[in-house]
Amino acid sequence: MKELDPLVFLAVFQEMLGPLLWLMILLIVAGTAAFVMLLLKERTIDSKRLVRAELVGLVGGVLALVLMAKVSSSGFTDAGGPADWFLIALVFGLGLAGTSILAYTFMGWRKPAR
């Protein structure tokens, strides 16, 4: 594979996640749009809500690792080199950030800041 083709990544993720891939993409797009609209509406970041969202994000990071272990053929004991551990940390970080953004957005639309 000499060139990077985004359709190859799409095919691999479709094979690994199945219909869950499209649900996740929809959640990412809708959550990002809702987050941007919330920021435009409030024009500030509520620190208490952000801390609570970050705590929820820790759970999201762990769930992202569980999902990664379920859809891949290897487990955490198979991680051998630095690239494997970097990928595990990246999956955790993306799960944490994504869940934090979604939780902050949900809390913001549910109960607006003062």
**pTM of the entire predicted model:** 0.84
Domain boundaries, the chain: 6-110
pLDDT in tens, 65-102: 999 888 887 777 777 888 888 888 999 999 999 999 99
Provide the pLDDT for residue 33: 97
Residue 101 makes CB contacts below 8 A (sequence gap 6+) with: 31, 32, 35, 53
Nearest to 68 by CA among 17, 8, 6: 17
